[in-house]
Amino acid sequence: MTPFGSKQGFKLFVIPLVMAAIVALAIDQIFQHLVLPLRTDISNSYKIERLLGETSPEEIPVFGSSKGRSSFIPDSLGENVFNYSMEKCNFDVIFFLLETELAKDKDSPIIIEFNTRSFIHRPEHTIDMAAFMPVQNSEKVTEYLAENNRLDRFQLLPGVRYYGSYIGYLRSLTRKVTSKKITNRGGIFIDYYPGDELLQKFANSRYKLMEKREQLEERKASGVPLTYMEVQLLDHLQMNSDFANNTERIEKFENMAKDHPNRDFIMVFTPHHPSELVGVTNLEKVDSLFNHWNTDISNIHAFDYSTFPLPDSCFKNSSHINLEGARRFCAVLNDDIDYLLNSN
């Protein structure tokens, strides 16, 4: 007799559980040994793995978000530049990348893409688990994930560690074959312009949201009660449109820079479509921060290209520049930071 009253009942209950374990392990192993090795240098997990293992003293890393990935063309900036930018990546991840990089015995500069959301702390949104899973054996990685509350115990088990990420990995493999996308040492650049009409739609959406924000702020100021949804929307709009002047995190970054005077930190506010800067009510704080860095900290060099004059045809959408935009931008950037890139 079994708990189910018959051997057959027990078998029917246990066999699917065993099968589930076998299928999960089989997919895990196939992935580990056959699919992951096919990753290219644009895969996020490849980038993390590379950064952990890369020892070349000349390499100049670029850290940043998808804006950074589509703005910095390594070939235009120098043969030693590698673009480690990943979508959604801000200082939640950049701190880890910097710690890893700064632990190396190197003197090369570091380029960091800056945007108004760089210092927001939202690890559940900014840390892409799929990028870290292939290197989960690294103590540094597990420590970092645990610190940010992003490590579940099951994620260390073979069979379930990649659960939820398989399609993401496959997606990054297919990127290489998309004809309009050009890749270059970690950077992805798209030779595409959506057209005047569609770009205008994207821009209008931003204008409308900012209009909505203004209206809500006015209503709130005049004492008219806002609904719960409106309060939520206003919080969301304020958080996502203004510069996140998180002094604690900015200080942490500054201390890292001060502790490594041999490394130059090149902070670059990349070109933005004019619509993206509408509604950022505290841009003057970015200016004063950049001034502070440039005058008070000798190895942080801040460059503001947010209003860099680019025609609409240089944009993929209102948040990202396209290949042509990246070419024009990098040509100017290269001239401006050449003295830093080649100082060593």
Which residues are at the interface with other proteins (CB under 8 A)? 2-6, 8-9, 12-13, 16-17, 19-20, 23-24, 27, 129, 152, 154, 160, 163-167, 171, 194, 198, 201-202, 204-206, 208-209, 223-225, 227-233, 317
- What's the closest the beta carbon of residue 19 comes to other proteins, in angstroms? 6
Q: Which is nearer to other proteins, 228 or 335 (CB)?
A: 228
Q: Do 51 and 97 meet the contact criterion of CB atoms below 8 Å apart?
A: yes
- What's the closest the beta carbon of residue 24 comes to other proteins, in angstroms? 5
- Listed in sequence order, the residues at least 6 apart from 25 whose beta carbon sits closer than 8 Å to its beta carbon are 158, 159
Q: Which is nearer to other proteins, 163 or 340 (CB)?
A: 163
- What's the closest the beta carbon of residue 170 comes to other proteins, in angstroms? 10
- What's the closest the beta carbon of residue 336 comes to other proteins, in angstroms? 32
3-state secondary structure of 122: coil
- Closest by CA position to 63, among listed 43, 93, 103: 93
- What's the closest the beta carbon of residue 206 comes to other proteins, in angstroms? 7
Q: Which is nearer to other proteins, 17 or 105 (CB)?
A: 17
Q: Do 145 and 127 meet the contact criterion of CB atoms below 8 Å apart?
A: yes
- Cα distances from 341 to residues 14, 69, 125, 279, 294, in angstroms, run 62, 19, 32, 34, 17
- What's the closest the beta carbon of residue 227 comes to other proteins, in angstroms? 6
H-assigned helices in the chain: 7-30, 44-53, 66-69, 74-77, 91-102, 123-126, 129-132, 139-147, 166-175, 196-221, 228-241, 247-259, 274-277, 283-296, 323-341
- Cα distances from 267 to residues 54, 102, 144, in angstroms, run 22, 16, 23
Q: Do 96 and 138 meet the contact criterion of CB atoms below 8 Å apart?
A: no
- What's the closest the beta carbon of residue 9 comes to other proteins, in angstroms? 5
Q: Which is nearer to other proteins, 50 or 219 (CB)?
A: 219
Q: Which is nearer to other proteins, 298 or 313 (CB)?
A: 313
- Sign, Cα dihedral of 177, 179, 183, 188: negative
The C-alpha atoms of residue 292 and residue 300 are separated, in whole angstroms, by 9
Dihedrals phi, psi of 80, to nearest 5 degrees:
-100, 5
Q: Which is nearer to other proteins, 169 or 189 (CB)?
A: 169
Q: Which is nearer to other proteins, 78 or 168 (CB)?
A: 168
